[in-house]
Structure 1
Amino acid sequence: MRQLSKPAEPRRHKRQRTRLRAGRVADSSNTFLCDCLISDMSPAGARLKLPAEVDLPEEIVLFDELENTVALASLRWRSGCNAGIQYDVPPAKAALFSLTRQRALTRRYYALKD
């Protein structure tokens, strides 16, 4: 029996399944919104699993705890607890950010205000 090839995926970058990794989401003014789980990463974006009641803005800041990186991203889609984001600025080491509030996402008590 002849095997059919899989249809091409309509993405610029192939998704890379990853183990769920912890992350934190803030809005564009660096106000903490929620903790999340990061999966299905690619050079262009990622899938996030987060509380359904959290209303995400169009632009977010994402901190990846495993890699200790911060990325600026745009919300591309949302379905219940899942959301797809596209990086506007790719992930970079948190230590490179000069803004205190962006670096604050890396600290243990990041959700507390000064």
Structure 2
Amino acid sequence: MTEDELRGKRRQRVLKGAAILTGINNSEVACTVRNMHPGGAELKVPVEARVPDEFLLYVATDGIGYKAVVRWRREDRIGVEFTGTERKPRWHYG
């Protein structure tokens, strides 16, 4: 099976700046959303970035914080599933 068949939903190609917010010491990792659908997304992250298995993905252009769970990792790409949304944390400047 191809990755698209395993995914179950077709993702729309996008190019959005985003931030992975961990809440650990109010830290964040800048990333790019490469493709997305209502249930998840593929993110491009710096290779050296430490990304936890669960985090809040804040997409400024959407004005939404997506609760995300990592489903796969490959080099500088991470596939996530969205488990809900929440407001942007007050400590985040964006």
| Superposed CA offset, 1:49-96 (max 9, x none) | 11111121110111001111101110111111111111111x45x3xx
Output the aligned Cα RMSD: 2.0
| Superposed CA offset, 1:13-41 (max 9, x none) | 221111x1110011155732311101210
> Aligned AA for 1:11?
R
| Count of matched residue positions in the alignment of Structure 1 and Structure 2 | 91
Determine if the alignment matches structure 1 residue 85 to structure 2 residue 80: yes
TM-score, with normalisation over the residues of structure 1?
0.69
Determine if the alignment matches structure 1 residue 21 to structure 2 residue 16: yes
> Aligned AA for 2:29?
C
**Equivalent-residue separation in structure 1 for 2:25 and 2:5 (angstroms):** 34
Correspondence for 1:112: none
Task: Structure 1: give runs of 5+ residues left out of the alignment.
Answer: 1-7, 109-114
Taking structure 1 as reference, are residues 59 and 28 closer, same or farther at Cα in structure 2, changes over 3 Å only?
Answer: farther
Computing the radius of gyration over CA atoms, which structure comes out larger, 1 or 2? 1
Correspondence for 1:104: 91
**Equivalent-residue separation in structure 1 for 2:39 and 2:72 (angstroms):** 14
Greater strand content: 2
Task: Structure 2: give runs of 5+ residues left out of the alignment.
Answer: none
2:58 match: secondary structure? strand
Please point out which of 8, 14, 35 is paired with 1:12: 8
TM-score, with normalisation over the residues of structure 2?
0.82
Correspondence for 2:34: 39
